[in-house]
C-alpha cells in the first residue's frame, strides 16, 4: 500500500467519501471487575476497490492535510451515532467512543456541531466520549476552551495513546479529561518487563488520583489482562477481548465473551 502515490490515493479518497465506500467498525471495551461491555469505540475502515484495505493511519492524516477532515468527521460521527441509537433501542446501555482529529478542535464551533448531531440522532451527549490523540505539533493545552465546552455539554473526553505525546502529565492535570487510555506500547511487554510494569502502574495510580477512568489499549494476552486487573485498571480493550467488530457481529460477541470471561481471568 505504501507504494500508492499520494495524489492517486487522495482522489480516490474524495470519491470514497462521496460514494459511501467507508464504513465504521466497533471495538468493545470491557470493565475489568465484571467483564461487562462498557464502551464501543468506533474505528473507520476503507476498502479501496483497486488497492484493497487502506489503514486509517494512512488516510486520516491525508484527510487532515487536504482539508477533508471536516466531511470525514461529520460522516463518521453520524454513522456512529445512528448505529449506537439502533443498539440502545435494542437495550444496549454503554458509552460510545469516537476518535477526533486535533484539527477539528481548532474550531470553537465544533462542540456545538457535535451536540447538534447528538440531538438530531437522539443520542444523549453524556453517552458520547471523544478520544483525542496529542499531535506532535499541537499540544492539547492550546485547545482548553474547546475541550471545556465539550465537558459543559456532558460529553466525555479521553486522552488516547497516553504516554507517547509530550508534557503529558501537565496536560492531564490541566485539561478536563474523563479517561486516560494507556498506549499499547506500554501494555505489550506486561508483565515480563519491569519498566513497563512500573510505568503502567504509575499511569493507573495517576488516573485514579485525578478521578479519571484508566483504560488499557492493545491487551492481547490473558497474562496482560490479569496483571492489569491486579493493578485495578478500570477498562480493557484489545484483541484478547475483541477485534473491531462489524455492527451485526456485536450480539454474538456479547454472548460468547460472557462465557469466556471467567476463564480469561483465571476464575473458571
Ligand atoms: P486508536 O484510536 O488508538 O485505535 C486503536 C488502534 O489499535 C486501532 O487501529 C485498533 O484496530 C488497534 N487495536 C486495537 N486493539 C489492538 C490489539 O490488541 N493489538 C493491536 N496490535 N492493535 C489493536 P486502527 O483502526 O487501524 O486505527 C488507527 C488509528 O487511526 C486510531 O488509533 C485513531 O487514532 C485513528 N482513527 C481510527 N478511526 C478514526 C476515525 O474515525 N476518525 C479519526 N479522526 N481517527 C481515526
Ligand atoms: Mg482511539
Ligand atoms: Mg489509542
Ligand atoms: Mg493507538
**Residue 21 pLDDT > 90, yes or no?**
yes
The average pLDDT across 225-251 equals 98
Measure 11 CA to ligand 4 centroid, in angstroms: 26
Would you say residue 15 has pLDDT above 60?
Answer: yes
Buried b (16+ CB within 10 A) or exposed e, 222-238: eebbbbbbebebbbbbb
Q: How confident is the model at residue 140 (pLDDT cuts 50, 70, 90)?
A: confident
Q: What pLDDT does residue 167 have?
A: 56
Whole-number Å distance between alpha carbons of 28 and 247 = 11
Pocket test for ligand 1, best of 28, 42, 43 (most atoms within 8 A of CB): 43
Among the atoms of ligand 1, which is closest to the Cα of residue 237?
Answer: 15
State the pTM of this model. Answer: 0.96
Site of grid cell 491486579: 230
* pLDDT digit string, tens, across residues 32-71: 999 999 999 999 999 999 889 999 999 999 999 999 999 9
CA angle 128, 133, 136 (to 5 degrees): 160
* Ligand 1 nearest-atom number relative to CA 131: 2
Mean pLDDT score across all residues of the chain = 93
User: What ligand has the least distance to the C-alpha of 57?
Assistant: 1
244 and 26 Cβ atoms separated by less than 8 Å: yes
pLDDT at 1 over 50: no
Query: Which residue ranges form the domains of the chain, and what is each CATH number?
Result: 6-259 (3.20.20.450)
Cβ–ligand 1 contact at 77 (below 6 Å)? no
| Pocket of ligand 1 contains residue 44 by CB under 6 Å | yes
Mean per-residue pLDDT for 77-85? 98
Amino acid at each position: 500500500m505504501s507504494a500508492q502515490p499520494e495524489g492517486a490515493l487522495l482522489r480516490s479518497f474524495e470519491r470514497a467519501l462521496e460514494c459511501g465506500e467507508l464504513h465504521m467498525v466497533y471495538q468493545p471495551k470491557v470493565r475489568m471487575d465484571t467483564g461487562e461491555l462498557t464502551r464501543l469505540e468506533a474505528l473507520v475502515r476503507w476498502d479501496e476497490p483497486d488497492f484493497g484495505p487502506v489503514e486509517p493511519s494512512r488516510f486520516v492524516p491525508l484527510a487532515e492535510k487536504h482539508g477533508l477532515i471536516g466531511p470525514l468527521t461529520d460522516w463518521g460521527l453520524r454513522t456512529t451515532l445512528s448505529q449506537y441509537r439502533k443498539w440502545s433501542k435494542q437495550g444496549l446501555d454503554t458509552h460510545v467512543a469516537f476518535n477526533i482529529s486535533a484539527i477539528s478542535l481548532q474550531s470553537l464551533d465544533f462542540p456545538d456541531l457535535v451536540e447538534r448531531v447528538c440531538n438530531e440522532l437522539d443520542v444523549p451527549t453524556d453517552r458520547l466520549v471523544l478520544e483525542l490523540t496529542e499531535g506532535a505539533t499541537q499540544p492539547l493545552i492550546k485547545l482548553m476552551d474547546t475541550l471545556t465546552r465539550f465537558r459543559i455539554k456532558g460529553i466525555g473526553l479521553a486522552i488516547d495513546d497516553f504516554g507517547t505525546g509530550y508534557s503529558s502529565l501537565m496536560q492531564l492535570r490541566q485539561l478536563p479529561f474523563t479517561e486516560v487510555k494507556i498506549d499499547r506500547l506500554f501494555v505489550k511487554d506486561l508483565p515480563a518487563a519491569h519498566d513497563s510494569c512500573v510505568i503502567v502502574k504509575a499511569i493507573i495510580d495517576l488516573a485514579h488520583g485525578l478521578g479519571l477512568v484508566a483504560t488499557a489499549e492493545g491487551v492481547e494476552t490473558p497474562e496482560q489482562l490479569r496483571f492489569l486487573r491486579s493493578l485495578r485498571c478500570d477498562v480493557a480493550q484489545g484483541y484478547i477481548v475483541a477485534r473491531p467488530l462489524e455492527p451485526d457481529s456485536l450480539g454474538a460477541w456479547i454472548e460468547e465473551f460472557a462465557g469466556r470471561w471467567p476463564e480469561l481471568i483465571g476464575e473458571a
